[in-house]
Amino acid sequence: MTYSNSDSVINQIHQTREEISERFGGSIAAIAEDAERRQLESKRLIWKSNKPNSVLQPKPVSLSLNRLG
């Protein structure tokens, strides 16, 4: 694989993103609404977890708890 091939793919990705952005006036909310509408119209099954997301890393300990002495 040469760099020119990967550059070409990256350039295509940037071009597509720019076209989508222009189509919706740069509004991310409008892009998300359109994606949701198309998703619902497709009637394809969508996997959803039965469990809510959980924190993968422990929460930091407050500095005030470290000053016990």
Show me where the domains of the chain are located: 1-40
Cβ-Cβ contacts under 8 Å for 21 (sequence gap 6 or more): 31
DSSP secondary structure code for residue 21 in this structure: H
Least confident of 9-13, 15-19, 21-25, 58-62: 58-62
Measured between its terminal Cα atoms, the distance across the chain in Å is 61
What is the pTM for the complete model shown? 0.54
Mean of all residue pLDDT scores within the chain: 84
In angstroms, rounded to a whole number, what is the distance separating the alpha carbons of residues 53 and 57? 12
Give 1's pLDDT tier (boundaries 50, 70, 90): very low
Read off the pLDDT of residues 30-57 as tens digits, 9 standing for 90 and up: 999 999 999 999 988 887 778 877 777 7
In angstroms, rounded to a whole number, what is the distance separating the alpha carbons of residues 64 and 32? 41
